[in-house]
Amino acid sequence: MPAAAGETDLAHLLAALQPVRQPGEYVFCPVGPAQSVPPAALGAFREPEGLTLILPRAAADAQGLPYAYVAAWLRLTVHSSLAAVGLTAAVAAALAQENISCNVVAAYYHDHLFVAQADAERALGALRALSARARASLSPSNP
């Protein structure tokens, strides 16, 4: 049975982001619609053109799967509700200010961000700064 549905208040979500970089490199692999989802896949999404798999790069390489983008995986540890409004927009805006592309996957407990491997540390810095600003705005000493 799932736990509570998660936080919906944007200010509290941003204050509690706590982004964590997962080890490794990750890729998005376009495969045919009949492809099965391998056990190593973090995620899969079926589109009219075919199936997209999110895999550790090593697993994609071992299977000879194509990809064009190598990403770092950042997990927002705050338990966000799927019904929360504005979290994706706020995160995307903070990263866009730093010229960092971001691919977001929302799961039941957390949001997961895939950013270019070379931008991972800058992305963490931008997200931590966003969270610090939100915490400061919630502080009782802030007028």
Q: What is the CATH number of the domain that holds 115?
A: 3.30.2130.10
- Which pLDDT tens digit goes with each residue over 9-53? 999 999 999 999 999 999 999 998 888 899 999 999 999 999 999
How much of the chain, in percent, has pLDDT values that exceed 90? 89
> Is residue 97 very low, low, confident or very high in pLDDT (cuts 50, 70, 90)?
very high
Q: Give the Cα separation of 28 and 135 in Å (integer).
A: 34
State yes or no: pLDDT of 68 exceeds 70.
Answer: yes
Read off the pTM: 0.92
The domain in which residue 132 lies consists of 10-138
**pLDDT of res. 2:** 60
> Is residue 129 very low, low, confident or very high in pLDDT (cuts 50, 70, 90)?
very high
Q: Give the Cα separation of 18 and 3 in Å (integer).
A: 20
Report yes or no on 3 lying in a domain: no
State yes or no: pLDDT of 142 exceeds 80.
Answer: no
Q: Give the Cα separation of 104 and 113 in Å (integer).
A: 5
Q: Give the Cα separation of 28 and 43 in Å (integer).
A: 9
Report yes or no on 120 lying in a domain: yes
B/e letters for 21-59, b = 16+ CB within 10 Å, e = fewer, are: eeeebbbbbebeeebeebeebbebeeeeeebebbbbbeb
Q: What are the helix and strand counts (H, E) for the chain?
A: 4, 6
- Structure-token pair, residue 96: 């866009």
**pLDDT of res. 88:** 97
- Structure-token pair, residue 17: 């982001």
- Structure-token pair, residue 88: 């994706």
Domain count along the chain: 1
Report yes or no on 1 lying in a domain: no
